[in-house]
Amino acid sequence: MNLSRTAVMLSITGLSISFSAVTAAEEKGLSPLEQCYQSVRDAPRTKIAGCLNAKLNTANTRLNTILAQQKQEIASLNSAGSEQAIQSLYLSHSAFITFRDAECRYRYDATLGGSGAGDIMKACQIELTNWRIKQLQEN
């Protein structure tokens, strides 16, 4: 069953978790999927996938950079607890990735095979990755 664009957007609204934003479009409350819809306008749907992939790559790069910075900051303390803190950081990261992938797979499956399911899953991964970035930066 193919979902119309409107139905896909309603699914996103019903399934999405609200996260803080970093770009101007996100500050307006637009999800990554809505941002990509706006940026590609009437272009083929494949452009939406490209937009989402670029956003996810950017978010993953930022996340990995912040993880490396956190590790470096912890190690620079030369504390007896530094090694354990670094191990906990990586354990937390691994648990986050497991959660993110499971949550986004759920959202994908909840569309029941709709044509926008892949887009919804990517948008979810972007949202949750950006949320994790914010959490690490506040820590």
What pTM value is reported for the model?
0.75
pLDDT at 21 (0 to 100)? 34
Question: Is it the case that residue 61 has pLDDT exceeding 70?
Answer: yes
C-alpha span between 12 and 26 (Å, rounded): 15
Q: Which residues of 47-78 are buried (b: 16+ CB within 10 A; e: fewer)?
A: ebeebbeebbeebeebbeebbeebeeebeeee
93-133 confidence digits (pLDDT tens): 999 999 999 999 999 999 988 888 999 999 999 999 999 99
Percent of the chain scored above 70 by pLDDT?
Answer: 80
3 compared with 137, residue with greater pLDDT: 137
Amino acid 137: pLDDT = 94
**Confidence band, pLDDT 50/70/90 cuts, at residue 37:** confident
Average pLDDT of span 40-59:
88
Which two structure tokens, joined as six digits, stand for 53? Answer: 């992939």
Q: Write the CB contacts of 96 (distance below 8 Å, at least 6 apart in sequence).
A: 128, 132
Lowest mean pLDDT among 32-36, 75-79, 127-131: 32-36
Position with higher pLDDT, 14 vs 88:
88
